[in-house]
Amino acid sequence: MAEQLRLGVNIDHVATVRNARGGALPDPVRAAKLAEAAGADGITAHLREDRRHISDADIEALMETLTLPLNFEMAATDEMQAIALRHKPHAVCIVPERREERTTEGGLEVAREENRLAHFIAPLREAGCRVSIFIAADRAQVEAAHRIGAQVIELHTGAYCEAYADGDDAAQAAELSRLTDMAALAHSLGLEVHAGHGLTYGDVGPIAAIPEIRELNIGHFLIGEAIFVGLEVAIAEMRRIMREARG
Ligand code: PXP
């Protein structure tokens, strides 16, 4: 039987709305607490280089007030490494970052940067953070993530979700098959497997059913849905679909 599937709620876009107006509202920390009350297993926040949503003060406040584990998403830069080492969150997820992108568009190119990334994550591991690497469902990337000493990989589900949104059944099936195979490969190498990006009520089921996946990180859809039904209801519904898919 598949192990339990955790839900990490990404609160970045609460900060996006706050920053659209400036000031303090809506407060991402309040969203994190509500997510916790609604049954989230963790909170994810991405401190981008340009601070377009989550701020340094948000990370500080989350570290001070959260009882749930924080998954701190960051680019592989010296600045972010220093921030992570100061706060020592439960997990750090290393993501690629380009200033001009709207969101994290692809996975990290681990295979080509193995040496640098191995040195980059070593102090984070030594500080006690679980190191996760956000990658495409690609054999070379999974194997490289394993070789550099990451404990976790997060598989990028963006292409799968886009195929679902486009109604392209063949592309969706091909992406699902790639994700399924790479989750199995990563698991066989001893990596913990997470997945996320772009997931919605409509497409989360087949991903939740992949037995090796232990955690899904979901943000944009849940925060958007919360506008209509509230965050607690949105999270509860996502959990229900995940549970049913898991069987
Ligand atoms: N996982 C990672 C590593 C991400 O970068 C993101 C987006 O910031 C997500 C999950 C969540 O994606 P979404 O907001 O589309 O649900």
Listed in sequence order, the residues at least 6 apart from 88 whose beta carbon sits closer than 8 Å to its beta carbon are 127, 128, 129
User: What pTM was estimated for this model as a whole?
Assistant: 0.97
Answer yes or no: is 72 within a domain: yes
In contact, 7 and 218? CB cutoff 8 Å: yes
Assigned domain for 42 exists: yes
Task: pLDDT tens for the chain, 247 residues: list them.
Answer: 567 999 999 999 999 999 999 999 999 999 999 999 999 999 999 999 999 999 999 999 999 999 999 999 999 999 999 999 999 999 999 999 886 777 777 899 999 999 999 999 999 999 999 999 999 999 999 999 999 999 999 999 999 999 999 999 999 999 999 999 999 999 999 999 999 999 999 999 999 999 999 999 999 999 999 999 999 999 999 999 999 999 8
Q: Is residue 38 part of a domain?
A: yes
Token readout for 150 is 């990451």
> Which protein residues are within 6 Å of ligand 1, measured from CB?
10, 12, 46, 73, 93, 95, 103-104, 134, 154, 196-199, 217-221
Domain assignment of residue 188, yes or no: yes
From 197, 207, 213, 222, the mutation candidate for ligand 1 (largest count of ligand atoms within 8 A of CB) is 197
Cα 44 to middle of ligand 1, angstroms: 9
Q: In this structure, is residue 57 part of a structural domain?
A: yes
Count of domains for the chain: 1
Distance CA 63, CA 152 (A): 21
Look up the domain containing 44 and give its range. 6-246
Identify residue 203 by its one-letter amino acid code: D
- Is residue 1 in some structural domain? no
CA of 227 to the centre of ligand 1 (A): 19
Residues with catalytic function: 46, 73, 197
| CATH number of the domain enclosing 192 | 3.20.20.70
Q: Which of 11, 17, 104, 213 to mutate for ligand 1's pocket (most ligand atoms within 8 Å of CB)?
A: 104
Say how many Å lie between the CA of residue 82 and the centre of ligand 1: 22
In a domain, residue 230? The reply is yes
Determine, yes or no, domain membership for 26: yes
